Amino acid sequence: MADNVKRVGVNASLIPVGQTGSMFRIESGKPNRYCDGLSRRSFVQLGMAGMASGAIPELLRAKTLTAATGEHKNSGKQTSIIMIWIDGGLSHLDTYDMKPEAPEEYRGIWKPIKTNVPGIDVTEMFPLQAKQADKFSLIRSIHHDRGDHFTGGHIMLTGREAGVSGFDNRGKYPSIASVATKFTGSRQPGMPPYIAVPYAASIGLVPGYHGGNFLGSEFDPYAPGGDPNADNYSVTTFDPPSGMTIDRLESRQEVLKSFDQFSRRMDQSKILETSGKFQQEAYDLVTSAHVKSAFHIGEEDVKLRERYGRGGWGQSTLLARRLVEAGATFVTVHFGGWDNHWDLQPAYEGSLPRVDAAVASLLQDLSDRSLLEQVLVLVVSEFGRTPVMNNGHDGKGTPGRDHWGRAFSCLAAGGGVQGGRIVGATNARGERPAELPLKPDDLHATMYHVLGIDPKLVYYDRMGVPVQAVRDGDVIRQLF
């Protein structure tokens, strides 16, 4: 390996679950079929998350109680995270950990290309990222050894297996983002701290393992929904239940009526008695010009929008940049449809260029705005794909790759992460870690560290039982 690259290792269907309160749905996108045979269509779950409603006052109340009890352990950092979630399983051998010397059935279809850091190669399908390798590092040795979508997704997003499987796919623990933003809040008063663009989904579950789960729906991400590629995209374009709109919230009385309508579990008089302060803050959040402006992606230069890619993925990524710039702490971006057991070539020839444009443009955009040091960018998935390609599953299609949790890759950039590094390595066929085996817990500890939170943090479930934020992981110091 060339001296220029620093290598670090040992030797160098709609399934809404966990939702409470009133919801309404806006159908968005094409159905994605997973290997379990279920066809799931993406829906935006809107209701009290993100509009002036019951959940926002609850979130504000929780933040106040957290600070009052001394649980707020944020170090004063103002860093944020953008996590691009590749939902379905991204093949490491076809993207960030290519094996050109491996047998043909392993090395796959595409060739590696050199990047602007000698010694780091990526797929020829990533020419734009190849010019940005000095800004990112590649972690090539993550593993959790599970091959089930739901198990892998739950581990990657919450840090726990918790008995989750295809038979019982309910979210059991809160997401890393839910826990983190419980303690940090937002970086700018008035901004929702945790946002999912355009919605939160994991293996067809909404918000699934991105949600607060046992912490409560007040720690779910705000999911604005819609199509960020639209020229006039704005959160004010969605019609809430019963005709409630942002304009109607101009009246304090209308706000209270809306809260009353959707707070079914609470006595009306009690709401008015105990929640006035938090309702007013929620009203201020929803009607804030600063918050609304952050979602107005149409204010961006047309040429920049084109560089990100004029489609849902690219524009969602650009919107994520706007949101962290405006003060959000944690933003997830959903890239769905990666369960390519067969027909891998046509699928990736359609998808990889879109990923390339979005990721490369985000890194350059953050750098141009002097924000890269403040924003950790991650490209992650629930697992990788099998190193050996299959035969197309006996006539179902051309060759593809199956599930593989024994080794996969993650791109990390910004937030103090040094660029131009390879952390860990897999063996010659990409089957397992050969250097510096890393667990999802290690990645989670690193995320907490970037946000200024002690990874040894302990929080409490609703029964008062202490829960370790990270059970068995350490900050990946080789990134810094």
pLDDT band at 49 (very low <50, low <70, confident <90, very high): very low
From CA 252, how far away is CA 474, in angstroms rounded?
48
* pLDDT, tens digit, 9 for 90 and up, residues 155-202: 999 999 999 999 999 999 999 999 999 999 999 988 999 999 999 999
Distance CA 6, CA 196 (A): 33
Residue 84 has which token pair?
């691009």
Q: What dihedral angle (degrees, nearest 10) is formed by the CA atoms of 255, 260, 261, 262?
A: 100
Angle, helices 276-287 vs 252-262, to 10°: value is 110
**Of the CATH numbers 3.10.310, 1.10.3470, 3.40.720, 3.40.50, which one belongs to the domain with range 6-452?**
3.40.720
Average pLDDT of the residues in 231-245? 56
For the chain, the average pLDDT equals 82
Cβ 320 vs Cβ 334: under 8 Å? no
Residues 410 and 139: their CA atoms lie apart, in Å, by 5
Residue (of 240, 170, 259) closest to 207 by Cα position: 170
Query: What residue ranges do the domains of the chain occupy?
Result: 6-452
Q: What confidence tens digit (pLDDT) does each residue in 265-311 have?
A: 444 444 344 344 444 555 555 556 778 889 999 999 999 999 999 99
Residues 6 or more apart whose Cβ sits within 8 Å of residue 368: none
Give every CB contact of residue 242 below 8 A, 6+ residues apart in sequence.
Answer: 261
Q: How far is CA 83 from CA 216, 314, 358, 476, in A?
A: 22, 14, 12, 17
Q: Which residue has the tokens 């990526």?
A: 122
- Which phi and psi (to 5°) does residue 317 adopt? -70, -40
Tens digit of each residue's pLDDT (9 = 90 or more) over 417-475: 999 999 999 999 999 999 999 999 999 999 999 999 999 999 998 889 999 999 999 99
pLDDT over threshold 70, residue 25: no
Rounded to an integer, what distance in angstroms lies between the CA atom of residue 283 and that of residue 257?
A: 12
